[in-house]
Amino acid sequence: MKYELWDMLENLKESCHIYDLSHPVAPETPHWAGFDPIEERVVYNFKEHNFIAKEYKIVSQYATHIDAPCHFYEPGRKIHEIPIEDTILPLVVIDIVDKAAMDPDYGITKADVIDFEEKYGKIPEGSFVALRTDWSMRTENFDNVDEDGVSHYPGWTIEACEYLIKTCKVKAIGHEASDTDATSISVPAGGLPVETYVLEQDIFQVELMKNLHLLPPMGAVILVGFPNVVDAPGFSARCYGFVKK
């Protein structure tokens, strides 16, 4: 007997590269500096119980993670309220690697997004837009903290996000750094005005992504997986990028 969905799945695996866009979850994994590393405790073991189970202590926004709107906007949706169909989306990757290399505080502009569209075509409605900076490739001093204790890393600006959300009508955004805001915005503001704006628009985001360099600017698909924790403001996520071979 033939099953159409199984044939589609086989064809998908044969015709696509599938890339992991998430960091492994471990104490040394990049995470926001204000959070403690993950902790684990063995509660059952093979020697005494013939199976193993562990208890983990982990903050909701740890390593690669999804931020639900309620993370920065109290009336916003929690992760269990995000429709499952919104976790599989067309993926667009905007590359600002060269600009970030020249200026680690660089914030992508509306003009950058429009330039991208002129080169690759209109960003589709309902898509996930990821900001490629190659920041995930850093192996030490991830937040690029200077001798005065100030971080320097690239990110989004409100004008770019407003264009993506209001004009392009995207479903979600993502990035490789630990925060949404470019530090040229967050440091003077003493907060995260861009992240606040984004989540107030009732879209979700994924932070601390990786392997965006393996994806094309247009044409890939992202799957964002996370536990369906009731009333959670976010959680560690496993994200996959599907790219046609």
pLDDT for residue 47: 97
Residue 44's φ and ψ, nearest 5 degrees, are -140, 145
- Terminal Cα-to-Cα distance of the chain (whole angstroms): 28
pLDDT for residue 1: 73
CA nearest 78: which of 227, 218, 245? 227
CA 238, CA 25: separation in Å to the nearest integer?
Answer: 10
Q: For residue 53, give every residue at least 6 positions away whose Cβ sits within 8 Å of its Cβ, in sequence order, or none.
A: 42, 43, 44
Residue 110's φ and ψ, nearest 5 degrees, are -60, -40
Per-residue 3-state assignment (H helix, E strand, C coil) for the chain: CCCHHHHHHHHHHHHEEEEECECCCCCCCCCCCCCCCCEEEEEECHHHHCCCEEEEECCCCCCCEEECHHHCCCCCCCHHHCCHHHHEEEEEEEECHHHHHHCCCCECCHHHHHHHHHHHCCCCCCCEEEEECCHHHCCCCCCCCCCCCCCCCCEECHHHHHHHHHHCCCCEEEECCCCCECHHHHHHHCCCHHHHHHHHCCCEEEECECCHHHCCCCCEEEEEECCCCCCCCEEECEEEEEEEC
pLDDT for residue 2: 80
Taking only the tens of pLDDT, the chain with its 245 residues reads 789 999 999 999 999 999 999 999 999 999 999 999 999 999 999 999 999 999 999 999 999 999 999 999 999 999 999 999 999 999 999 999 999 999 999 999 999 999 999 999 999 999 999 999 999 999 999 999 999 999 999 999 999 999 999 999 999 999 999 999 999 999 999 999 999 999 999 999 999 999 999 999 999 999 999 999 999 999 999 999 999 99
pLDDT for residue 229: 97
CA 84, CA 139: separation in Å to the nearest integer?
Answer: 34
pLDDT for residue 116: 98
Is there a contact between 1 and 218 (Cβ–Cβ < 8 Å)? Answer: no
pLDDT for residue 20: 98
